[in-house]
Amino acid sequence: MNRLFVIKIGGNVIDDENNLSKFLTKFAAIEGKQILIHGGGKIATKLGNKLGVESKYIDGRRITDTETIDLVTMVYGGLVNKKIVAQLQALHCNAIGLTGADANIIPATKRPITDEGIDFGFVGDVLPDQLKTNNLQLFLENKLTPVFAPLTHDGKGQILNTNADTIASVVAVALSSVYDVRLIYCFEKKGVLENMNDENSVIPLLTTDSYEQLKASNKLFDGILPKIDNAFAAIDSGVKEVLIGHADDIVQNTTQNTTGTLIKER
Amino acid sequence: MNRLFVIKIGGNVIDDENNLSKFLTKFAAIEGKQILIHGGGKIATKLGNKLGVESKYIDGRRITDTETIDLVTMVYGGLVNKKIVAQLQALHCNAIGLTGADANIIPATKRPITDEGIDFGFVGDVLPDQLKTNNLQLFLENKLTPVFAPLTHDGKGQILNTNADTIASVVAVALSSVYDVRLIYCFEKKGVLENMNDENSVIPLLTTDSYEQLKASNKLFDGILPKIDNAFAAIDSGVKEVLIGHADDIVQNTTQNTTGTLIKER
């Protein structure tokens, strides 16, 4: 099968123009097929502050009300997405900016009100079985590079806010029947660290077995555990490899000589 | 050749949610291949006011400075475009939202400073010879409906602001070698009126000859002349027909029984 890299970048790359442009230069140089998923970063919050749209949280989780969904549709789907597309075009990478609503690629459902009565608002839980991968494949096979904003839709006319990590994961899983997929999460460290105070203690390889041993040793810091659990969930669903690494190392992390943490079944 | 409808809607349709939703319901019902181009409407100006981004004009023409291009990229490329896409998806029209930067479809060049020293800022003049129609065709042949925001790019990483009428016209011209194109401009009247005070005085057909006669009679109001001149320019460049009509009549205006003004070579 052909290889495909599904690459997610977060706020730390997007919020700084120099970081972003440095990253995109590297991204455009990657050999083979790629999909980019970007998070939102702080731009939406900053713009929201100017507009008097308050960021609302319940139990640490953002609530997406009507004003907020309009705000993130503008910022993620418009400003951030189109700036990335225009910059990639300048680097001769034929990018096409998308949300999950475009070509109906990522249908989702509005998150139901929780048993505790919490209404998260316009938050979309992806319907993984309904992804329209045929259109994504069409783009990839025609040398287009999809760039996703973290937005989906409910099929009833409403745009929904969806976590970018989740979008990266469901897209990687959905395309794993057609491509050998390496899902790459770029974050602010070189990889999963054995000692969180030592940037050079990257664990180069995690398998189901070694992960269990490592968890038992209590060495990993708590924040990374959900990321690794999600990575194994993607692998259980067909993704060949997941890599957690630094945005600066993106080119190398698409080769065999990875600097980040490669996560495989075994 | 297959037929293609290239349809432009402006502010009067976009600024009112009911008008927009009424229009989109009709648009989705059109038989055959379609492309939609939307203008910006007043939303950008309203949001700009809230953000303290002033609308700047020289000689009645809007100046697009750095703040303004970010604003219109958000509003046109994000909010308006994605709302239209999500609504069309709900109507089972497989829409894909695009700017001219996406898939490099509409390259443009930043308008040079005029001889009088006027700098329009980030305004894009389309490079008609460089349109990437192969990707547009790819989408159309795969039953996708392109929805364009009035934005282009300079190929050097910069998004540019481009008049929606112009985008509709260059897209129609570029695709006229592959399809029988009817370019439809929706506006707030039923068509070109012989008597501007009588909504029922629509001129059903304009050809090069009848237009010359009509102009000589001084019956047409000045504002409509540039629209008609642009229509003939599109026809001279290969577009089969141009229609100027009301958004409410969009379905009928894709048939032989048009209610608007049909403009043809002869």
Of B70, B82, B102, the CB nearest to A159: B82
Find the closest chain B residue to A156 by CA distance. B90
ipTM value for the complex: 0.95
Closest chain B C-alpha to A230 CA, distance in angstroms: 29
Put simply, the answer to whether B89 touches A104 (Cβ < 8 Å) is: yes
> In this model, does residue B61 exceed pLDDT 80?
no
Percentage of residues in chain A with pLDDT exceeding 90? 77
**Chain A residues touching residue B155 (CB < 8 angstroms):** 89-90
Predicted confidence (pLDDT) per residue in A215-231, tens digit: 888 778 777 888 899 89
> B103-107, B202-206, B217-221: lowest mean pLDDT where?
B217-221
Q: Which among A50, A87, A157 has CB closest to B87?
A: A157
From A108, which residue of chain B is nearest by alpha-carbon distance? B86
pLDDT exceeding 70 applies to what percent of chain B? 100
**What pLDDT, on a 0 to 100 scale, did the predictor assign at position A217?**
83
Mean pLDDT of A260-264: 96
* Domains, chain A: 3-263 (3.40.1160.10)
The distance of B24 to chain A (nearest Cα, Å) reads 11
Residue-level pLDDT at B138 = 98
pLDDT value at A176 more than 90: yes
Q: Mean of the pLDDT values across residues A139-161?
A: 98
Confidence bin at B223 (pLDDT 50/70/90):
confident
Interface of B with A (CB under 8 A): 47, 50-52, 70, 73-79, 81-83, 85-87, 89-90, 94-99, 101-104, 135, 138, 142, 144, 151, 153, 155-159
pLDDT in the model for residue B55: 81
Query: What is residue A218's predicted lDDT score, i.e. its pLDDT?
Result: 79
Within 8 A of B159 by CB-CB distance, chain A residues are 82-83, 86
Per-residue pLDDT of A55-112, as tens digits, reads 888 777 778 999 999 999 999 999 999 999 999 999 999 999 999 999 999 999 999 9
The answer to whether A74 contacts B79, with C-beta atoms less than 8 Å apart, is yes
**SS3 letters across chain B:** CCEEEEEEECHHHHCCHHHHHHHHHHHHHCCCEEEEEECCCCHHHHHHHHHCCCCEEECCEEEECHHHHHHHHHHHHHHHHHHHHHHHHHCCCCEEEECCCHHHCCEEEECCCCCCCCCCECEEEECHHHCCHHHHHHHHHCCCEEEECCEEECCCCCEEECCHHHHHHHHHHHHCCCCEEEEEEEECCCCCECCCCCCCCECCEECHHHHHHHHHCCCCCHHHHHHHHHHHHHHHCCCCEEEEEEHHHCCHHHCCCCCCEEECCC
Q: What's the pLDDT at B166?
A: 95
Where residue B218 falls among pLDDT bands split at 50, 70, 90? confident
Residue B78 and residue A78: Cβ atoms within 8 Å?
yes
Q: Please give the pLDDT value at position A77.
A: 98
